[in-house]
Amino acid sequence: MNELILVRHGETDQNRDFIVQGRIDNPLNDTGITQAKKTGAYLKAKNTNFDLVFSSPLIRAVDTAKLIAEVMDFSQSVIIDKNFIERNFGDFDGHKITSEYAAMIKEESIPNMEKHQDLERRVFEALKSVCQTYPDKRILIVTHSHVIKALLVRLVPEFTYTSYLANCSVNYLHYSQGDFSVLKYNVNPLNGGMADQEIRTQPFAKS
């Protein structure tokens, strides 16, 4: 069995200003740097050690992963995996998040946007590949909102692509014999984990 912890990257100026980033390679702002360090401290306080740390190639995720690893005294290099890059939001990249945007996400009507099915296939295949390459390991993956949502919408009945995931939210999954299951999701380490949501779901078979 693999234990998986997926963390959304820390805040960027574009997050703060409610701008869609997608594949735009924006850095963490000062708040995001602080969030990443606090996330590392939160995980360290819970004695959550890792065998491996993966990251999306985008700098906001890479720097979040490195800051968490530094706080946790994790000495290995962060592994960059392009398959954990954020969703391609097509023509909406760089535009303001609005109610229209939320509706267009739900309807998959944004021109040139990566479709739900394609995103979910990419993310599940990437995660399964990591688990099969490194069996029986505890793995931290620092990635993006819609990458994590691609998992949760398939595993948590009430979760949708318009559900909110906080910056540096922590999501706990298991992988065993081809099945994924969610233990907790959208845990906010910046308030001591008070937003923990424990669930009991049927594993998503052979994703």
Residue 86 a catalytic site member: yes
Tell me which of 3, 9, 116, 144 is the catalytic residue: 9
Q: Assign 3-state DSSP to the chain and report helix, strand, coil percentages, each to 5.
A: 40, 20, 40
Catalytically annotated residue among 3, 11, 86, 114: 86
Catalytic, 9? Answer yes
Torsion on CA atoms 113, 119, 122, 128, rounded to nearest 10 = 160
Q: For residues 164 and 15, give the distance between their C-alpha atoms in angstroms, rounded to a whole number.
A: 12
DSSP code at position 4: E
Q: What is the signed CA dihedral for 47, 52, 58, 63, rounded to 10 degrees?
A: 40
In 109-155, where do the E strands start and end? 138-143
Quickly list DSSP for 6-53: EEE---BHHHHTTB--TT--PPB-HHHHHHHHHHHHHHHHTT---SEE
Tokens 């990458």 correspond to 147
Please identify every residue annotated as catalytic: 9, 86
